[in-house]
Amino acid sequence: MDERNGWADDRWGAVADTFARTFADSAELGAAVTVFVDGRKVVEVWDGVADPRTGRAWTQDTAVPVFSCAKGLVSLCAHLLAQQGRLDLDAPVSRYWPEFAQAGKELITSRMVLAHRAGLPALDAVLDFDQIAAWTPVVRAIEEQRPLWAPDTAHEYHGHVFGFLLGEVIRRITGDTPGAFFRRAIGDPLGLRAWIGLPPEEWDARARLVEAERRPPMPGPEHLLTRIVTMNGALVFPGLDEPRGWNDPALLAMELPGAGAVASATGLAGVYAAAVTGIGDRERLLTEDTVTDAVREISSGKGWLGFDAGARWGSGCLLNSAFRPMLGERSFGNDGAGGQFAFGDDSHGVGFAYVTNRMIGHGDARATRLVAAVRACLGA
């Protein structure tokens, strides 16, 4: 690969080659992939266009909205607090947030939220964009919300509520919102280009999202899936270039801890590498026991809506499956709308991330092909 577009160690050339083929074989626009092994970068490649309006090229530092990869950052913060003895994942949320204990939520634990089992995939309250950005109105709506099912008896993707609920637990314990805590505890000390709430100085350098194809229409506004994704219509999806859409700094700057992260490939891969091995001479953030706890399967099979996508969930993370192939039973990660994906695996010492600005829907195999190349290189 051209030196200006990154590099890969000799053993890991197949990952760079697979990445290069995505530009020849698919509708890729701009993208990057980074792989750490045992705390050292072995692949860091990027290519294409970050902003199709101007032709601005993708660079080593280009960050892009990575949607629900944000759940990985929030979950890592929760596990870090649990490891420090500051958060009991199996204690009622109300231990840390007393006002939460109403409307049938008294026994809900943080782990139920992490595994999408709390019965709170969406809120009944209809909040506008400014109320969501203000944080407190969402917290009050969560307090008043009655679960859709008896907690811990079923699972369904918790979308935005996942981030706000766990984020408020983090705030009650640390005094920081989840985006601020992530930067203070992980992002800033390690110099990682990943944020929940993009700083203004980063707005102009970010990649702009585009769609590769028209997606199937979303269900009507009353359908639970639409309510989950749009917070009852306050947010647009994908709505990239609409006011307050996913290319609008007004949205990217606010803390949407369930789906609003912005990161570079190296920043996101670095988060997982830091978690499972440490980076450079730094100790790993999560102990072996903490990872073991995180990767214990809790949710799989048909969700509350009756659909089984094939996903397996641990505590706040996707696990290795046909739905999202990784490296093995110690792999854990999160994906994001349009193709973004990142994971870590402490048994192989790997931190991986692929990010792109060309959003592809159902059938997108770009990240899966790259993970297969990583797997092949590990076995070489």
What tens digit of pLDDT does each residue of 313-349 get? Answer: 999 999 999 999 999 999 999 999 999 999 999 999 9
Tokens of 27: 């509708």
Highest mean pLDDT among 22-36, 66-80, 209-223, 226-240: 66-80
Banded model confidence at residue 1, pLDDT cuts 50, 70, 90: very low
CA gap 34, 55 in Å, rounded: 23
- This model's pTM is above 0.85: yes
Virtual CA dihedral for 245, 110, 63, 28, nearest 10 degrees?
-70
| Per-residue pLDDT tens over the stretch 237-271 | 888 998 999 999 999 999 999 999 999 999 999 99
Quick one: what percent of the chain has pLDDT higher than 90?
91
Mean pLDDT within 15-28: 90
Question: How confident is the model at residue 20, as a pLDDT?
Answer: 94
CB burial readout 20-53, b (16+ within 10 A) else e: bebeeebebbbbbbbbbbebebbbbbbbbbbbbe
Question: How confident is the model at residue 310, as a pLDDT?
Answer: 95
Question: How confident is the model at residue 2, as a pLDDT?
Answer: 45
| Angle value at C-alpha 58, between 279 and 378, nearest 5 degrees | 40
CA gap 193, 323 in Å, rounded: 28
Question: How confident is the model at residue 215, as a pLDDT?
Answer: 64
Q: Which amino acid would we find at residue 198? A: L
Q: Which domains does the chain have, with CATH numbers?
A: 3-74+180-379 (3.40.710.10)
Per-residue pLDDT at 3 exceeds 60: no
CA gap 190, 264 in Å, rounded: 14
Q: CB burial class (10 A; 0-12, 13-18, 19+) of residue 204? A: exposed
Per-residue pLDDT at 370 exceeds 50: yes
Mean pLDDT within 134-158: 98
Mean pLDDT within 285-289: 98
Q: Is 155 left (phi over 0), alpha (psi -120 to 50) or beta?
A: beta
Q: For the chain, how big is the Rg over CA atoms in Å?
A: 19
Place of tokens 């641990």: 314
Question: How confident is the model at residue 253, as a pLDDT?
Answer: 96
Banded model confidence at residue 214, pLDDT cuts 50, 70, 90: low
CA gap 293, 349 in Å, rounded: 17
Which DSSP category does 180 fall into? H
Mean predicted lDDT score pLDDT of the chain: 95
Please give the biggest Cα pair distance in the chain: 59
CA within 13 Å, CB half, 217: 4
Question: Would strands 210-211 and 358-359 be described as parallel, antiparallel, or unpaired?
Answer: parallel
Banded model confidence at residue 380, pLDDT cuts 50, 70, 90: low
Question: How confident is the model at residue 361, as a pLDDT?
Answer: 83
Place of tokens 């505590």: 315
Question: How confident is the model at residue 363, as a pLDDT?
Answer: 81
| Per-residue pLDDT tens over the stretch 111-143 | 999 999 999 999 999 999 999 999 999 999 999
Please spell the DSSP secondary structure of 287-334, one letter per residue: -HHHHHHHTS--EESS-TTS-----EE-SSSEESSSSS--SSTTEEEE
**Which residues, 6+ apart, have CB-to-CB distance to 213 below 8 Å?**
27, 360, 361
Q: Which amino acid would we find at residue 298? A: I
Tokens of 72: 């990985």
**Lowest-pLDDT range, 21-25, 78-82, 201-205, 307-311?**
21-25
| Angle value at C-alpha 145, between 141 and 147, nearest 5 degrees | 150
Q: How far is CA 279 from CA 36, 41, 265, 284, 351, in A?
A: 9, 9, 15, 7, 10
